Amino acid sequence: MHKKVEDIKLYINGEFIDAHACATFENINPFTNEVTNKIAEGRSEDVNKAVKASKEAFHSEWGTMKVAERMEYINRIADLIDEEVEEIAILESLDTGLPISQTRKMAARAAENFRFYARMVQSKLHGESYPVDDEFINYTVYKPMGVVGLITPWNAPFMLETWKVAPALATGNTVVLKPAELSPLTANKLAEVIDKAGLPNGVFNVVHGFGETAGGSLVSHPDVEAISFTGETTTGSTIIKNSAETLKKTSMELGGKSPLIVFDDADMDRALDAAVWGIFSFNGERCTANSRVFLHKTIKDQFVEVLKERVTNIKIGDPMDPSTQLGPLIDKEHFNKVTNYIEIAKQEGCEVVQGKVPEEVKAGNFVPPTLLLDAKNDMKVCQEEIFGPVMAVIEFETEEEVIAGANDVKYGLAGYVWTNDIKRGHRVAQAVEAGMLWVNAQNVRDLRIPFGGTKASGIGREGGHYAMFEFYTEPKVIHVAISDHHIPQFGK
Ligand code: NAD
């Protein structure tokens, strides 16, 4: 039995309200393909209303509030998320098809995002001073920007939303969030939590709706100072174009096609666990997924044998079942896209090995864990982001060859190197063109590190002080004379 969920409204100026046009859209459960509930569909009028409220809240209260007071609100949000972790995880799994064992961890981490930024802002958000002889002191202060627009994807909604909302609010900005239309439930929950935390009206707003309309209106709004976006590379490029007119600051976290390289001296068991987890967790809908696995010639056959066993053993099923390891893809359209890539792989000459979707869950958008064996890096399936549980396996012989292959792709988000040769580990990690590299590790990270990609995977970094200093605040310089320096006397 799946949970019954109420219809969802917009959250603007501290109120849950219908869309101006009273429009709604249906939210579909990826496990059953039945309608979960109806969502208010915000358009430009609603975005205008949210931005107006957000701007007023910034100027009247939030932007100038004492830091300690603001952080009390931020920590209260974290505490309330903790109280609701189970409910948030259930809603997230219902909405996205992500296994509940994984959404529970994501929800718990979301609370930590708020605490982390409360600590960061209190201890680290300070400027520098530059004394110039006995003539001047120049100093910097980091100021919030005002209204920021946050546009998020469906693959890890709550986690990614809080990853943006927490630094935006903690640094003193006000927010209009446009969540992905395919996964609106937990954004609404975040609005409920923030409402309960008692933040001043208008500080945080949620406008549900479609990309081109609700998202587009936010991007082109003259009173929105910055857009932080996570999603597809092509959408990112459209947003940059559309934000040019109003000269917005933008942050782009985009797609990936990340390599995982296993040398012949690696710890095979650990490399295997990491490779399997890295592509089949989050249903393969993970930006940092190791979708291209490069195996050294001498260990390839042995590695592939175990991979084949693993894909047939991965537990496919109801996302609400705690033992499920792989759930359904977000919607039918995405299912068709991923399935089509598997057909392309066959045409391109790959041997396809797959797990089996149990008969009783066939109503869901399930693609079984899939291996594309004998893949070559120049194949379409190795160059384009599939964003599903599909691992391409590519053989290599030399270090130079594998670095060239890893880099011969338009993306540059993440990369993983497995070797017990310490020099080679560092060398290869430094040579792979990506924003984030892991050596002998799966995708574990500390919140203080910069998160983001190079090439077509993004512009700018989130996380740690990068989000705080480089995106959500602007440095302001104040020059103060402390003696009577020379001033030219024109026209005297
Ligand atoms: P998407 O680009 O289709 O949509 C993301 C968001 O953008 C949605 O809210 C959507 O409504 C909105 N949008 C769409 N068109 C818009 C427009 N013209 N103007 C303004 N907003 C618009 O992405 P998706 O399919 O939801 O997410 C999957 C993608 O996200 C994958 O490519 C994945 O790699 C990427 N991703 C990247 C990271 C990262 O940190 N680099 C993290 C997670 C996901």
* 124 and 271 belong to one structural domain: no
- Is there a domain that residue 452 lies in? no
- Is there a domain that residue 486 lies in? no
Q: What is the pLDDT of residues 160-213, one digit of tens each?
A: 999 999 999 999 999 999 999 999 999 999 999 999 999 999 999 999 999 999
Candidates 161, 285, 287, 382; catalytic one? 287
* 155 and 36 belong to one structural domain: yes
Residue 1: predicted pLDDT? 52
What span, in angstroms and rounded, lies between the C-alpha atoms of 348 and 380?
A: 8
How many other β-carbons are positioned within 10 Å of the β-carbon of residue 86?
A: 12
* 173 and 281 belong to one structural domain: no
Residue 192: give its domain's CATH number.
Answer: 3.40.605.10
- Is there a domain that residue 448 lies in? no
Q: What is the pLDDT of residues 307-354, one digit of tens each?
A: 999 999 999 999 999 999 999 999 999 999 999 999 999 999 999 999
Q: Which two tokens stand for residue 422?
A: 């310490």
* 312 and 332 belong to one structural domain: yes
- Is there a domain that residue 491 lies in? no
- Is there a domain that residue 28 lies in? yes
- Is there a domain that residue 427 lies in? yes
* 227 and 291 belong to one structural domain: no
Residue nearest to atom 14 of ligand 1 (CA): 211
* 107 and 156 belong to one structural domain: yes
pTM for the full model? 0.97
Residue 2: predicted pLDDT? 64
Any atom of ligand 1 within 6 Å of the Cβ of 155: yes
Q: Number of structural domains, the chain?
A: 2
* 248 and 274 belong to one structural domain: no
For the cut 80, the answer to whether the pLDDT of residue 3 exceeds it is no
| Residue pair 464/255 in contact by the 8 Å Cβ criterion | no
Which residues span the domain enclosing 297? 259-439
Any atom of ligand 1 within 6 Å of the Cβ of 161: no
Residue 412: give its domain's CATH number.
Answer: 3.40.309.10
Q: What is the pLDDT of residues 402-447, one digit of tens each?
A: 999 999 999 999 999 999 999 999 999 999 999 999 999 999 989 9
What span, in angstroms and rounded, lies between the C-alpha atoms of 249 and 146?
A: 12
Candidates 56, 161, 253, 285; catalytic one? 253
* 220 and 281 belong to one structural domain: no
Residues of the chain above pLDDT 70, percent = 100
> What is the chain's mean pLDDT, rounded?
97
Residue 423: predicted pLDDT? 98
Mean pLDDT of 238-266: 98
Residue 67: predicted pLDDT? 96
Distance 391 CA to ligand 1 centre (A): 22
* 65 and 116 belong to one structural domain: yes
